[in-house]
């Protein structure tokens, strides 16, 4: 345990085989921040590659935060309360499984009836895995949504499969060490697996387990794997992170490292658009990252070893991938690092040790690095021959902060339903002068809206995967409104909350909102905004703001996003219901890098998916349509001065690149 606070930036690419996990960078720990790293490619041309693996510079920090990370006592239920030892000798399978099932299933494995539809939306659960090695001999899995596994860092919290464990040696029947399922009766083929989180730990598959899968992961709308190491003990194993069941995403995998499997990360099926950032895949034997048919957005992929680094479209030529700011290294000296069989937009990708960076639909594209490449035909309403170059807005990393001095953590002592209703309980915690204000894991109901002001002394508000519920019958719908009105240069981070949590952004102070469902409104003069693994509906941003959104879910049945003169950069967006997705106005700039439009019901055919009025835009997106009148008839409406033009949806499901600048 450390007893100090620090803010730092880290911009070093980790290419080691991870015998040691770096304690710099990763989301969620290490008392660190990074708000200045930028990636703004100055491509000389489009649909081209350039020779020389050192031609491109990356400002990313994909290495992990090893730990030990600090968490306040009582913030979440400890796995050791259920009898787990974490000594690397005792078999902890039964104890961990009991913790995962506690309060969710009956002894026979059937559901405990849940009044919110048998998915436990209103009863989120967080289990804390203190530092230790938890030896297991069978798959760990749980029923229902809304589960968080919280470790102390992948260098100190390890879930390890026993060597030569029973059932992990049949190649025809791969078996995961950790598996996210929806309930005890099926294998997670529903799309109600909301808010499934695995944070700050390692999963090792041991030795002599050739049919092992590290983590079989599933989440929907919001949920994340963050700061996680998955490793094979002997270089055997099927897949590090398996996302091949119907239907993976939307969700986020960030700061993930996978070592030594046949496949590092595998994604399958057409929905629902997972997002990946800062991924290191070392020494896989067949392929590093494989996307079968989904719409995936990737930034900061680093691969090493002889296996093909990336395959896009292994299941369908409709697979769509955005690949940014990546390094694919140590190939065979021949062949291609990327095998694209679907839709690919690649930007700022360097390779070494390969004959070429890319094979596109069977054709080898010469060159060892990719400045910007688009496999489809770029479209524009105002240019007869547009260059296939995305808008290229500057990118900043999402701030992270974790105070290692436990004396700087203060709890919000309100519990259950109605316990937070007294204003001074929360405001007193915020005014304590401490850096970190936390709610212990669980659910709270605030019937009438409780508005509180966040002072500059608070750096982070942590919900530990819990929720704040409002009530439609309460004042302003109930819930808690955090008012951010100061002009501090230090970011405020709000994370791990949901539903009735609202942010009122009034001052210049930057705000980062992560991991949950929130309300947000910005007043004139509001500072920069970072969104990561969130649901906000609707979102409206104002002139002068810069907004970076990663893994953003929006199901609002109206105009979902209004950009009124701001800079808006999105990596991974999924929408449901109809109406306009993004309306960019008044000189605003919007860059959308990967999106799945999933209306899911009949929509107003007169409304375009995207509106632009005297603005600059570029869009890459996919659509899924399963009923009559469910798809957009008009994709784009763009106005420059008094000239308004429309682009009709052409009867295909992918927009490789639209340029409106």
Return the minimum-mean-pLDDT range out of 180-194, 381-395, 492-506, 556-570: 180-194
What is the reported pLDDT for 18? 33
Strands, DSSP E only, in 367-490? 369-374, 409-411, 436-438, 443-445, 450-453, 460-462, 467-469, 480-484
What is the reported pLDDT for 11? 29
Phi, psi of 263 (to 5 degrees): -125, 135
pLDDT single digits (tens) 559-579: 999 999 999 999 999 999 999
Contact criterion met (CB below 8 Å) for 487 and 509: yes
Q: How far apart are CA 163 and CA 282, in angstroms?
A: 21
Neighbouring-strand partners of residue 349? 326, 370
pTM to 2 decimal places: 0.91
Mean pLDDT over 425-441 rounds to 96
Return the minimum-mean-pLDDT range out of 176-190, 306-320, 633-647: 176-190
Topology (CATH) of 60-325: Pectate Lyase C-like (2.160.20)
What tokens were used for 284?
A: 């896989």
What is the reported pLDDT for 587? 97
pLDDT single digits (tens) 160-169: 999 999 999 9
Q: Torsion over CA of 119, 254, 36 and 498, rounded to 10 degrees?
A: 10
What tokens were used for 650?
A: 């052409």
Mean pLDDT over 297-323 rounds to 97
Contact criterion met (CB below 8 Å) for 594 and 571: yes
What is the reported pLDDT for 419? 73
Mean pLDDT over 38-62 rounds to 36
Neighbours of 365 (CB within 10 A): 19
Average pLDDT, the chain: 88
Mean pLDDT over 226-253 rounds to 96
Q: Is the pLDDT of residue 141 over 70?
A: yes
Q: How far apart are CA 64 and CA 153, in angstroms?
A: 8
Mean pLDDT over 214-219 rounds to 96
| Location of each CATH 2.160.20.10 domain in the chain | 60-325
Q: How far apart are CA 307 and CA 214, in angstroms?
A: 19
Strands, DSSP E only, in 118-207? 125-129, 132-136, 140-142, 147-151, 157-161, 175-180, 197-204
Contact criterion met (CB below 8 Å) for 506 and 523: yes
pLDDT single digits (tens) 374-386: 999 999 999 887 7
Mean pLDDT over 234-256 rounds to 96
The model's confidence at residue 617, banded by pLDDT at 50, 70 and 90, is very high
Phi, psi of 477 (to 5 degrees): 80, 10
Q: Is the pLDDT of residue 464 over 80?
A: yes
């Amino acid at each position: 345990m450390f007893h100090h606070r620090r803010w730092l930036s880290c911009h070093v690419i980790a290419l080691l085989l991870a015998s040691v996990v770096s304690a710099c960078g990763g989301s969620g720990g290490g008392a660190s921040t990074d708000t200045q790293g930028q990636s703004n490619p100055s491509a000389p041309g489009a649909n081209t590659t350039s020779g020389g693996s050192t031609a491109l510079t990356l400002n990313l920090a994909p290495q992990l935060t090893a730990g030990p990370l600090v968490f306040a006592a009582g913030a979440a239920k400890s796995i050791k309360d259920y009898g787990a030892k974490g000594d690397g000798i005792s078999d902890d399978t039964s104890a961990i499984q009991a913790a995962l099932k506690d309060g969710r299933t009956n002894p026979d494995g059937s559901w405990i009836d849940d009044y919110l539809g048998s998915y436990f939306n209103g009863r989120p659960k967080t289990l804390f895995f203190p530092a230790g090695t938890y030896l297991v001999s069978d798959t760990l899995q749980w029923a229902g949504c809304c589960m968080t596994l919280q470790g102390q860092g992948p260098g100190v919290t390890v879930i390890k499969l026993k060597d030569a464990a029973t059932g992990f040696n049949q190649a025809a029947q791969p078996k995961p060490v950790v598996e996210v399922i929806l309930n005890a009766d099926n294998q997670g083929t529903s799309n109600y697996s909301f808010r499934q989180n695995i944070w700050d730990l390692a999963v090792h598959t041991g030795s002599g387990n050739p049919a092992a899968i590290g983590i079989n992961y599933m989440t929907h709308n919001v949920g994340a794997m963050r700061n996680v190491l998955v490793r094979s003990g002997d270089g055997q194993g099927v897949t590090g992170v398996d996302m091949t069941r119907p239907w993976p995403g939307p969700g986020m995998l960030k700061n993930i490292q996978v070592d030594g499997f046949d496949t590092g990360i595998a994604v399958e099926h057409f929905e629902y658009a997972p997002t990946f950032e800062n991924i290191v895949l070392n020494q896989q034997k067949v392929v590093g990252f494989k996307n079968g048919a989904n719409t995936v957005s990737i930034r900061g992929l680093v691969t090493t070893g002889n296996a093909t680094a990336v395959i896009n479209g292994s299941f369908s030529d409709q697979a769509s991938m955005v690949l940014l700011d990546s390094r694919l290294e140590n190939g065979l000296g021949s062949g291609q690092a990327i095998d694209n069989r679907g839709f690919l937009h690649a930007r700022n990708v360097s390779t070494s040790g390969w004959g070429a960076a890319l094979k596109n639909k069977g054709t080898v594209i010469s060159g060892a690095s990719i400045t910007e490449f688009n496999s489809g035909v770029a479209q524009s309403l105002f240019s007869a021959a547009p260059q296939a170059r995305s808008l290229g807005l500057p990118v900043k990393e999402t701030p992270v902060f974790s105070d290692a001095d436990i004396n700087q953590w203060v709890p919000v002592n309100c519990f259950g339903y109605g316990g937070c209703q007294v204003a001074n309980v929360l405001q007193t915690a915020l005014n304590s002068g401490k850096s970190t204000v936390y709610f212990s894991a669980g659910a709270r109901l605030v019937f009438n809206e409780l508005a509180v002001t966040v002072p500059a002394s608070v750096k982070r508000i942590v919900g530990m995967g819990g929720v704040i519920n409002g009530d439609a019958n309460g004042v302003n719908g109930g819930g808690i409104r955090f008012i951010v009105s100061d002009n501090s240069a230090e970011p405020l981070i709000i994370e791990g909350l949901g539903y009735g949590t609202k942010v009122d952004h009034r001052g210049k102070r930057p705000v980062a909102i992560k991991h949950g469902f929130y309300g947000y409104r910005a007043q004139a003069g509001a500072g920069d905004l970072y969104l990561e693994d969130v649901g906000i509906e609707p979102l409206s941003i104002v002139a002068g703001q810069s907004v970076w959104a990663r893994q953003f879910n929006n199901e609002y049945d109206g105009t979902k996003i209004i950009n009124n003169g701001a800079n808006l950069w999105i990596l991974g967006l999924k929408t449901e219901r109809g109406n306009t997705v993004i309306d960019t106005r008044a000189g605003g700039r919007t860059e959308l890098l990967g999106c799945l439009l999933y209306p899911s019901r009949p929509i107003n055919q007169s409304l375009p998916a995207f509106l632009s009025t005297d603005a600059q835009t570029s869009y890459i997106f996919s659509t899924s349509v399963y009923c009559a009148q469910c798809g957009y008839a008009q994709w784009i409406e763009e106005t420059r001065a008094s000239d308004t033009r429309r682009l009709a949806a052409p009867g295909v499901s992918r927009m490789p690149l639209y340029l409106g600048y």
